[in-house]
Amino acid sequence: MSLPAYQNGPDPSVVCPPCGLCCNYVSVGIDPPSSVERVSTTLWLLYHPDVSVYQSHEDEWFLLVRSRCRNLAPTGLCGVYENRPFICRDYEVDGCEGTSDIPAEKVKFDDAKSFLTFVSKWKPRLYGRCLAAGIVPPAFMAAT
């Protein structure tokens, strides 16, 4: 009888509900959009489909790209559980997006317009400098 691939570690089916939510994107830290230059870079990111930008509850900013991990099995379990990357091992099940009602992010933007509307309220003077610098296309301007 063959043993399951996770024989040397916990059974993933009892570690967490195998919803697979945390295996369907990658995210990397980015500079906060606190200058015209950085707002411009954030806009460039958000002009691409399947890319989002979010601020964590710890006020750190991240780029998020929706992409399903090739190791995620149809069962919702990890196909390389025993040898999964450290970042997967470190992910906390407590309070994760699959087990908590609290949104995983403080704020999240899937498009340029919603991001610019946020900037116009969050930092009105910065938004004004972005307008003056010519990086805000008319179609994406925040409503005033």
Provide the minimum distance between the beta carbon of 65 and ligand SF4 in the complex, in angstroms, as a whole number. 13
- Report the residue number, 46 or 78, with the smaller CB distance to ligand SF4: 78
Provide the minimum distance between the beta carbon of 16 and ligand SF4 in the complex, in angstroms, as a whole number. 3
Binding flags for ligand SF4, 44-83, as an x/- string (CB under 6 A): -------------------------x-xx-----x-x---
- Report the residue number, 16 or 43, with the smaller CB distance to ligand SF4: 16
DSSP 78: B
Type and span of the H or E element at 63: strand 61-66
- Report the residue number, 5 or 36, with the smaller CB distance to ligand SF4: 5
Choose one: 37-45, 51-59, 94-102, 129-137; the region binding ligand SF4 (CB under 6 A).
Answer: 94-102
Type and span of the H or E element at 130: helix 124-133
CA distance 49 to 27: 15
Partnered with residue 61 across adjacent β-strands are 30, 55
Render 83-111 in DSSP notation, one character per residue: G--HHHHH--STT-TTT-SS-SSSEEESS
Rounded to the nearest 5°, which phi and psi values hold at 126? -65, -40
The alpha carbon of 7 is separated from its chain's Cα centroid by a whole number of angstroms, namely 31
Choose one: 50-58, 88-96, 106-114, 120-128; the region binding ligand SF4 (CB under 6 A).
Answer: 88-96
| Residues at the site binding ligand SF4, with contacts judged by CB under 6 A | 16-23, 69, 71-72, 78, 80, 84-85, 88, 91, 93, 96-99
